[in-house]
């Protein structure tokens, strides 16, 4: 460092390994690189001072095909100078290209924060003089001493004086390099005579012994890992059986009270799945083909959960498909007419055929018989003659998960329900739990997607 110049490196503990911030810096460095082949990008076309790293030097240090300018036509790139560039351990030379058609005086200095780990850098140019008028390259040598392990911070300070202004411009080039201690060959002194042992010529007996010891250690580690995996597998199987028994014994009311604040429910694969908010599986696969089921047979399967049409009031249309609609509805309590609750109501359009109506009812029948905290069961149906059939499901205030995520993305800045990355992971875990339960019940969902999930915020 030149006398009187501030130390931009600051105090930093020696020997600390580079952290993840390195990759962020390297990524940000992409914005500083001059793309090869731009018109007028050559230094010969600039009359002022140019100091930069050539394309070959940038490729050697960080693997990118571009030039990195620190000064271009007397304009200093402070953003490039602010980066503390990591020098690979095996690299011992840095090369800088510079030129100035006008007269520019320079003065060069170095500062190393750990002189024990790295000797003072050397260069092939004088420490002060004039910047050459033609394009040239000067070299800086960075050799580690091999005496200790340490991350060495290097500052190369270049002071340039432009005669037109007589102002001194200070350029601080920051570099850091990992230096490692050299391992000396082991020597044993006997009777004033030193015997050097070459690792290549170690006695065969010692090599064999080390080999058998290594094999034994590896076998012991493998055996231990196998035992741990077996114990974890047995513990997982017992927990799965316990969860299944608890889920099967829970009532539909208990399903509406999940242990987490936000809960995702999966929807069964239903015809015209463009209606995103509807029933979510507890589905059971029938062996008989859907085409062989008549409308009357389909109604008979859900007769035990059928309710009167007068108890259901349709409100807004939430989603609409080719032949189906999803409404926000109100269900009046059977015992107390003053009690109401919100429900999803799935029905068909006027032009729906009998086959399409049968498909909707039959697919809704599959949403019965299974119980899990991440599966949304069917509630009731309305199958009165002369009326379009309706399928009722518990109302989820988030609604369709796909539309909810899109809404959060579009208005993320002003949305009070903005979700974090941790929330997204938690949603995925809940969906995976529901699918795992279906897999253990040998049920295939056939159409797992965000549009077939709903969310509820307690």
Active site residues: 447
Q: In the chain, what's the furthest Cα-to-Cα distance?
A: 113
Q: Is residue 360 exposed (0-12), middle (13-18) or buried (19+ Cβ within 10 Å)? A: buried
Count the residues in the chain.
Answer: 458
Q: Facing residues of 76 across strands?
A: 71
Q: Give residue 372's region: left, alpha or beta (phi > 0; psi -120 to 50).
A: beta
Q: Which two tokens stand for residue 281?
A: 């599986």
Q: What angle do CA 45, 51, 57 make, to 5 degrees?
A: 105
Dump the DSSP string for 262-322. Answer: EEEEE----SSTT--SS--------SS-GGG--HHHHHHHTGGGB--GGGEEEEEEEEE-S
Q: Whole-angstrom Cα distance, residue 233 to residue 100? A: 71
Q: Whole-angstrom Cα distance, residue 415 to residue 421? A: 15
Helix (H) or strand (E) holding 410: helix 401-410
Helix (H) or strand (E) holding 111: strand 104-112
CA distances to 319, 361, 451 from 350, in Å: 16, 16, 24
| DSSP secondary structure letter of residue 441 | T
């Amino acid at each position: 460092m030149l006398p009187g110049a501030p130390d931009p490196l600051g105090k930093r503990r020696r020997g600390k390994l580079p952290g993840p911030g390195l990759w962020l810096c390297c990524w940000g460095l992409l914005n500083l690189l001059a793309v090869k082949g731009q018109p007028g990008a050559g230094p010969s076309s600039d009359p002022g001072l140019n100091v930069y790293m050539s394309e070959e030097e940038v490729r050697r240090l960080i693997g990118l095909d571009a030039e990195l300018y620190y000064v271009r036509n007397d304009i200093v790139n402070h953003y490039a100078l602010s980066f503390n560039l990591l020098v690979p351990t095996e690299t011992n030379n840095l090369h800088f290209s510079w030129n100035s058609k006008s007269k520019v005086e320079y003065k060069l200095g170095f500062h190393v924060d750990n002189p024990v780990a790295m000797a003072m850098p050397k260069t092939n140019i004088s420490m002060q003089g004039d910047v050459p008028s033609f394009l040239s390259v000067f070299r800086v040598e960075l050799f580690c001493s091999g005496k200790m392990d340490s991350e060495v911070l290097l500052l190369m300070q270049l002071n340039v004086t432009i005669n037109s202004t007589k102002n001194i411009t200070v350029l601080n080039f920051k570099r850091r390099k990992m230096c490692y201690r050299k391992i000396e060959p082991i020597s044993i002194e006997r009777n004033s005579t030193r015997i050097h042992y070459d690792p290549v010529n170690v006695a065969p007996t010692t090599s064999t012994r080390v080999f058998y010891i290594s094999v034994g250690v590896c076998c012991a580690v493998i055996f231990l890992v196998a035992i741990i995996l077996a114990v974890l597998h047995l513990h997982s199987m017992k927990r799965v059986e316990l969860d299944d028994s608890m889920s099967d014994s829970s009532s539909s009311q208990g399903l509406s009270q999940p242990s987490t604040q936000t809960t995702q429910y999966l929807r069964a694969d239903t015809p015209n799945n463009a209606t995103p908010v509807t029933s979510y599986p507890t589905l059971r696969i029938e062996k008989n083909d859907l085409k062989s089921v008549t409308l009357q047979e389909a109604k008979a399967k859900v007769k035990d959960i059928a309710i009167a049409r007068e108890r259901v009031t349709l409100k807004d249309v939430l989603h609409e498909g080719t032949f189906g609609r999803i409404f926000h509805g109100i269900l009046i309590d059977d015992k107390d007419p003053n009690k109401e609750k919100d429900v999803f109501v799935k029905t068909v359009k006027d032009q729906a055929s009998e086959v399409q109506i049968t498909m909707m009812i039959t697919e809704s029948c599959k949403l019965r018989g299974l119980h899990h905290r991440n599966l949304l069961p069917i509630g009731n149906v309305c199958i009165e003659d002369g009326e379009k059939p309706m399928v009722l499901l518990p109302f989820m205030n988030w609604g369709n998960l796909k539309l909810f995520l899109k809404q959060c993305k579009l208005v993320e800045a002003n949305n009070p329900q903005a979700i974090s990355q941790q929330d997204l992971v938690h949603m995925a875990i809940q969906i995976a739990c529901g699918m795992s339960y279906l897999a253990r019940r040998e049920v295939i969902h056939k159409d797992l997607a965000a549009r077939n999930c709903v969310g509820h915020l307690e």
